[in-house]
Amino acid sequence: MATIARIALTPATKAAPATAPAKTSAMQVWTPINNRFFETFSFLPPLTDAQIAKQVVYLTSNGLTPCLEFEAASSAYSDFRPGTDLSISSCMYENRYWSMWKLPMFGCSDPEQVLREIANCRNAFPDCFVRLVGFDAKKQVQATGMLVQRPMGDNSYVRDVSKRSV
């Protein structure tokens, strides 16, 4: 045991190689002004049903509890501070909680059940944003969240602000 401790505390005889610094053009600043994103993947065009199915499989295979939430397009973005990003990724808590579709799917390990509930929620609320969140029961936190439906005509994911219909 003493040998292991001595080896672990022995100073390095050779310095680690230096790495090139990151290019500053690759670094971006998070802007809260006119930022219309929600959670994971929300900066991308809407996910296809096949892409959503893969995310559901990942969510359930990692033991996360699926839950669906929905919100009308008119109130999905809060007017707390006009022009300020209030999405979950900004760590601001205004308008973070949407209406829940049924109860969380505790113990659900079948991705098909989750996909059926997504379809049911979409049919019931076609003009709403719908998001799928995954809760970690051990850590008692929301571990993931992604939009699985945008209202028709929503293009808030478009990076060029001049091409958005707000």
- 15 inside domain: no
CATH number at residue 146: 3.30.190.10
> What pLDDT shows up at residue 68?
96
Q: Provide the token pair at 106.
A: 């505790």
> What pLDDT shows up at residue 37?
66
- 135 inside domain: yes
C-alpha span between 95 and 158 (Å, rounded): 22
- 161 inside domain: no
C-alpha span between 67 and 60 (Å, rounded): 11
> What pLDDT shows up at residue 22?
61
- 110 inside domain: yes
For the chain, strand residue ranges (E) read 65-72, 99-101, 128-136, 141-149
pTM of the model: 0.67
- 120 inside domain: yes
Domain tally, the chain: 1
Contact status, residue 77 vs residue 25, Cβ threshold 8 Å: no
Contact status, residue 70 vs residue 128, Cβ threshold 8 Å: yes
Q: Provide the token pair at 164.
A: 């958005």
Which are the contacts of 107, defined by CB distance < 8 A and separation ≥ 6?
A: 65
- 11 inside domain: no
Q: What is the pLDDT along the chain (166 residues), one digit of tens a residue?
A: 555 545 555 555 666 666 666 666 656 665 666 666 677 777 677 888 999 999 999 999 999 999 999 988 877 765 555 555 655 555 555 556 788 999 999 988 899 999 999 999 999 999 999 999 999 989 988 888 889 998 887 776 665 555 555 4
- 163 inside domain: no
Q: Which residues constitute the domain of residue 51?
A: 30-151
> What pLDDT shows up at residue 149?
92
- 14 inside domain: no
